[in-house]
């Protein structure tokens, strides 16, 4: 409303300038309308200022105990696990930590009463906790595996001369080709 009245006054002021030079009687009538609109504009400014002040005052008032109890019940319906006060205290501290990490101040955190916002912040905190647990699992040192030496079992012992030579060569070189040759020589027996 304030913007509309201000725009009308700008247009009327241009019209007043023309009327002053061309028609003084019409100027007097238009000037009366202009002064009336200007008065309404000032009244609208005053009302808007009072409204803004009342909003600030209302925002600074602590919420009523009934309001807090209602929001707490809604929160417990959304997060039934929080009916356990120990779990609620633990997770609430975790949620507050996540919010502080996002730049919230303690007074801002304490002023959050919307259960939906708390549910979203809790999900973010649980996700961060899950990511940290994953990172710890992947960082766990893995013990190096010692290589195992192949030993011949009594049933695997070569019986002919060519198989014995192939296994001796395999022991010296350790190559894959020599291993295949030794197995083939043993199977031919």
Residue 146 lies in a domain: no
Q: Which domain holds residue 179?
A: 157-188
Residue 149 lies in a domain: no
Residue-level pLDDT at 141:
66
Contact call for residues 183 and 162 (beta carbons, < 8 A): no
Residue 141 lies in a domain: no
Residue-level pLDDT at 38:
84
Residue 82, Cβ neighbours under 10 Å: how many?
19
- Which residue is associated with the tokens 């919420």? 63
Work out how many domains the chain is built from and give that number. 3
Same domain, 11 and 53: yes
Per-residue pLDDT tens for 119-173?
A: 999 999 999 889 888 888 877 666 676 666 655 554 555 567 888 888 889 889 8
Which stretches within the chain are classed as H helix?
Answer: 2-22, 24-60, 65-78, 85-101, 106-110, 115-139, 161-173, 176-188
Same domain, 39 and 11: yes
- Give the span between the Cα atoms of 121 and 103, in whole angstroms: 13
Residue 56 lies in a domain: yes
Per-residue pLDDT tens for 48-79?
A: 888 888 877 766 777 788 988 898 999 999 99
Same domain, 71 and 123: yes
* Six-digit token string for 49: 């200022």
Same domain, 95 and 111: yes
- Which residue is associated with the tokens 């009366």? 32
Output DSSP code: residue 140.
Answer: S
Per-residue pLDDT tens for 1-13?
A: 667 767 776 777 7
174 compared with 8, residue with greater pLDDT: 174
140 compared with 25, residue with greater pLDDT: 25
Same domain, 81 and 132: yes
Same domain, 124 and 70: yes
Same domain, 79 and 34: no
Residue 147 lies in a domain: no
pTM, two decimal places: 0.44
Rg (CA), the chain: 43
């Amino acid at each position: 409303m304030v913007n509309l009245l201000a725009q009308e006054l700008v247009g009327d002021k241009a019209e007043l300038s023309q009327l002053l030079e061309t028609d003084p009687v019409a100027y007097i009538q238009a000037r009366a309308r202009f002064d009336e609109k200007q008065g309404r504009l000032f009244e609208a400014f005053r009302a808007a200022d009072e409204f803004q002040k009342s909003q600030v005052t209302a925002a600074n008032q602590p919420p009523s105990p009934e309001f807090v109890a209602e929001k707490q019940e809604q929160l417990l319906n959304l997060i039934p696990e929080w009916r356990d006060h120990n779990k609620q205290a633990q997770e609430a501290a975790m949620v507050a930590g996540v919010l502080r990490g996002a730049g919230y101040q303690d007074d801002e955190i304490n002023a959050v009463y919307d259960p939906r916002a708390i549910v979203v912040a809790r999900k973010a905190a649980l996700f961060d906790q899950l990511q940290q647990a994953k990172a710890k699992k992947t960082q766990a040192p893995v013990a190096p595996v010692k290589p195992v030496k192949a030993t011949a079992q009594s049933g695997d012992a070569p019986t002919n001369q060519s198989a014995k030579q192939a296994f001796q060569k395999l022991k010296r070189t350790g190559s894959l080709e020599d291993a295949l040759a030794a197995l083939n020589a043993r199977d031919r027996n």
